[in-house]
Amino acid sequence: MTRRQFITASAALSVLPHRAAAQERKPNIIFILADDLGYGDSGCYGQKRIDTSNIDRLAAEGMRFTDCYAGSTVCAPSRSCLMTGTHTGHTRIRGNSSPTGRVALRPEDTTVGEVLKKAGYHTGLFGKWGLGEANTTGRPTQKGFDEFFGYLNQTHAHSYYPDHLWRNDEQVFLPGNLAGGKREYSHDLIVERALEFVRNSKDEPFFLYFALTIPHANNEAGRFLGDGMEVPDYAPYAAENWPTTEKGFAAMVTRMDRDIGRLMALLKELALDDNTVVIFSSDNGPHREGGHDPEFFGSRGGLRGIKRDLYEGGIRVPAIARWPGRIRPGQISSQTWAFWDLLPTAAEIAGAPAPAGIDGISVLPAMLGKPQKNHAYLYWEFFERGFHQAVRMGDWKAVRHGLEAPIELYNLKEDLQETRDVSRDHGEVVRRVEETLRIARSESQEFPIPRKS
């Protein structure tokens, strides 16, 4: 062997441990959560007029789910389910607020962030939290996130030009928005911090919870401002003959899509793409707020109901999973799952144990095309405008508006729009539903069931 050959061989051997280490590195996990994006608001779910080409590419390169459900039909409880692996019959936060005010996660409420941080992940949350204020046990830095930038509570997040955001536990003022200024659009700031987090985490496994605030309406302190959909410009829809509010809504969705594309491009640039699981969804169904009409773009995708309903349009959400080399591209899955399944799914991806006693089931097998365990039922409860419950068992979907109200029963396989209540024809199914509604929940001091006096 010549000296040159020896040096070349030695160099090749020296990189083998590094290559092996790279191959053994745990997958990065990114969960992208849109805010109030309807089942039908992206092209891969049937949208015709709004450009969502990057979201559609995620679906083409991964798996698109038809039967994924949000944790709730409004923001905070949906995110509580997502983070803690428990449904609204058990999760700590069951509404945007309770009779006693906002509720925070407790030390014993284990989150996805805590599970993955313990498993060696660098964890970051950028966007909307909604599960604990400053100086509470529920703030992000106490619930497993190394880095946080964005909004602590959902009401503050209604303003896209706030005078401050939060960085970890520090209040950060935005000079361009003081004294009524509108020069620093919060979504853009949040995106830049998230991309910076990915760049800084490229050499270690990371979990990015990318909790975007758009396309939620700009409802500040209960008042809708301007045209209701606050966005720096209406591109690429400025010339459309649409109501101004609808131009704003579409521009927000496409702005979100653009930034998802930037994130995916960064993963490729940093050679992280093949070892990163990306999951995309929305926190609940489409809204009718700020003058926006969910019918204008067909936002509910032909389903019944919108945000604040427990019919399918309020809780069935888009869901896409992409993992090159592991999830076969171009698949459409009818696997039924819900937000409380994220925690055990992420834990299995990371090779970490999930907490005992949660409601979630890992859906990683379904993503990888393997046999999947199914839930006996999915359960929701909702406290605004009274007390509402819903359950899905197989193809059966039941809704009840109050403890004394009759149970509505629908066969989703035959009636996805929930137009025909068949409860009178299926007494045995109704009895099973009644029992499920009884056992599926635990009592909550913060969210008591309203009862007749």
In the prediction, which pLDDT does 198 show?
A: 98
What is d(CA 324, CA 310) in angstroms, rounded to the nearest whole number? 34
**Which tokens hold the place of 83?**
């983070």
In the prediction, which pLDDT does 227 show?
A: 64
DSSP string across 323-368 = -TTTSPTTEEE---EEGGGHHHHHHHHHT-PPPTT-S----HHHHT
Cβ neighbours of residue 317 under 8 Å, at least 6 residues apart?
A: 37, 39, 68, 69, 70, 281, 282, 283, 284, 285
**Cα 125 from chain centre:** 12
Q: Which string of b and e fits 122-161 if b means at least 16 CB within 10 Å? A: bbbbbbbbbbbbeeeebbbbbbbbbbbbbbbbbbbbbbbb
Strand order across the 396-401 sheet: 378-382, 388-393, 396-401, 408-411
What is d(CA 202, CA 272) in angstroms, rounded to the nearest whole number? 7
The residues facing 208 across adjacent strands are 30, 124
In the prediction, which pLDDT does 19 show?
A: 39
The CATH number of domain 380-439 is 3.30.1120.10: yes
In the prediction, which pLDDT does 20 show?
A: 40
CA angle 81, 86, 91 (to 5 degrees): 75
* C-alpha distances out from residue 150 to 141, 154, 192, 195, 430, Å: 12, 11, 11, 14, 44
CATH code at 25-375: 3.40.720.10
Give span(s): CATH 3.30.1120.10, the chain.
380-439
Q: Are 397 and 390 in contact (CB under 8 A)?
A: yes
**Which tokens hold the place of 341?**
């399944």
In the prediction, which pLDDT does 223 show?
A: 45
The radius of gyration computed from the CA coordinates of the chain, to the nearest angstrom, equals 22
* C-alpha distances out from residue 383 to 82, 286, 309, 326, 401, Å: 18, 18, 11, 40, 10
Q: Are 124 and 146 in contact (CB under 8 A)?
A: yes
Q: Are 95 and 364 in contact (CB under 8 A)?
A: no
In the prediction, which pLDDT does 23 show?
A: 52
Polymer length in residues for the chain:
453
**Which tokens hold the place of 452?**
């007749």
In the prediction, which pLDDT does 195 show?
A: 98
Give span(s): CATH 3.40.720.10, the chain.
25-375
Question: Which helix or strand (DSSP H or E) is residue 9 part of?
Answer: helix 3-24
Cβ neighbours of residue 113 under 8 Å, at least 6 residues apart?
A: 83, 123, 125, 140, 143, 144, 145, 207, 209
**Which tokens hold the place of 111?**
């989150």
Q: Give the number of other CB atoms < 10 A from CB of residue 404.
A: 8
pLDDT along the chain (453 residues), means of 10: 45 41 80 98 98 98 98 98 98 94 96 98 98 97 98 94 97 96 96 98 98 89 59 96 96 98 98 98 95 96 98 98 98 98 98 98 98 97 96 98 96 98 98 98 95 65
